[in-house]
Amino acid sequence: VMASRPSMPRLLARELIDHHAEHASEQITHLAATLFTRLCDLIRAGQEGGIFRRDLDPRFAALSTVSLVPYAHIARPAVGLLLGRGVDGPTDEEMRAYGRHAAEFALSALLAHRPRPEATEPANTEEEGR
């Protein structure tokens, strides 16, 4: 959605900064009542099922999750500089790749830590030779 409407995240940021969400409060309230609430509920269900970490506040986890992609679009010129692309920002394909990365990153942060099978450690040849 953000790739097809590149000015949307910046307009929303300006609205939040310059007008304290005065003109967007209805849309934000709608998002809170629909998509944000659904994401919080999904995180809670994952916590109850032992899939997601129980030590996270679902509301904060949802905020962290949904903020990853818009921030990259809002800060696109800075992101472009950081990635060596200049102020025009990353390519659309790089932004889509970042979106996939952000989803994997968020899921990794949410997942409950499960004990991993013990890996066989490589032999330490220095100690064996002593």
pLDDT tens for 7-56 read 777 777 777 777 777 777 887 787 777 889 999 999 999 999 999 999 99
Confidence (pTM): 0.70
pLDDT at 122 over 70: no
Name the packing angle between helices 58-74 and 8-19 (round to 10°): 110
Determine the Cα–Cα distance for residues 39 and 110; give it in Å rounded to an integer. Answer: 12
Higher pLDDT, 116 or 130: 116
Question: What are the tokens at 48?
Answer: 């109850």
